[in-house]
């Protein structure tokens, strides 16, 4: 497969996946009589994948139409600036963080565990020179609080409360 066309193939594949996912969400059984049911999140995710895939497709087609010399130059610069291969240690730590997040969620609750997980995940994935602990703490706390508020107050969905009761 040509490097030039792999984003086009990926975007078309993701467009098809999002369409199938959206259609499949209509077969999710409604257990409540609320305005937002169990099919809301899958439809939202499918719509997001669809929109982002369309953007990827448009930029990929535009890039593929450029002359070959114009395409090769910037790609070489991008490849030179890319980070090296994924480090096996970061993959293992990410897997352990996910397992710990899932295992400790019933005990500590969504709010605490999400903030802790996000902080450690950002710390693991950031380069040593880019690690800003204060920023990571702020992002983790604000993100988990916002998500918790949205699910509790807007969607009226229960999340594990853990030690917070």
Q: Where are the domains of the chain?
A: 6-81, 88-164
Query: What mean pLDDT do residues 137-156 have?
Result: 92
The larger pLDDT score, comparing residue 39 to residue 134, is at 134
Q: Kindly tell me the burial class for residue 136, based on how many C-beta atoms sit within 10 Å of its own C-beta (0-12, 13-18, 19 or more).
A: middle
CA distance 124 to 95: 11
- Percentage of the residues of the chain whose pLDDT score is greater than 90: 57
Residue 68's pLDDT is 59
Asked if residue 133 has pLDDT above 80, the reply is yes
pLDDT tier at 38, thresholds 50, 70, 90: confident
**What is the per-residue DSSP string for 92-132?**
HHHHHHHHHHHHHHHHH-HHHHHHHHHHHHHHHHS-GGG--
End-to-end Cα, the chain, rounded Å: 54
Residue 69's pLDDT is 53
Q: How far is CA 117 from the centre of its chain?
A: 14
Query: What mean pLDDT do residues 84-100 have?
Result: 89
CA distance 39 to 140: 27
CA distance 22 to 106: 30
């Amino acid at each position: 497969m040509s490097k030039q066309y792999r984003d086009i193939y990926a975007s078309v594949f993701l467009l098809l996946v999002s369409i199938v996912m959206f259609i499949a969400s209509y077969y999710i059984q409604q257990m409540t009589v609320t305005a937002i049911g169990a099919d809301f999140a899958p439809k939202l995710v499918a719509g997001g994948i669809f929109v982002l895939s369309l953007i990827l497709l448009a930029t990929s087609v535009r890039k593929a139409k450029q002359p070959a010399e114009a395409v090769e130059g910037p790609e070489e610069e991008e490849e030179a600036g890319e980070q090296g291969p994924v480090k096996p240690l970061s993959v293992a730590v990410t897997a352990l963080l996910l397992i710990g997040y899932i295992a400790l969620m019933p005990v500590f609750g969504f709010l605490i565990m999400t903030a802790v997980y996000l902080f450690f995940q950002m710390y693991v994935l950031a380069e040593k020179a880019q690690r800003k602990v204060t920023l990571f703490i702020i992002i983790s706390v604000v993100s988990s609080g916002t998500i918790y508020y949205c699910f509790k107050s807007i969607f009226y969905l229960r999340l594990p409360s853990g030690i917070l009761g």
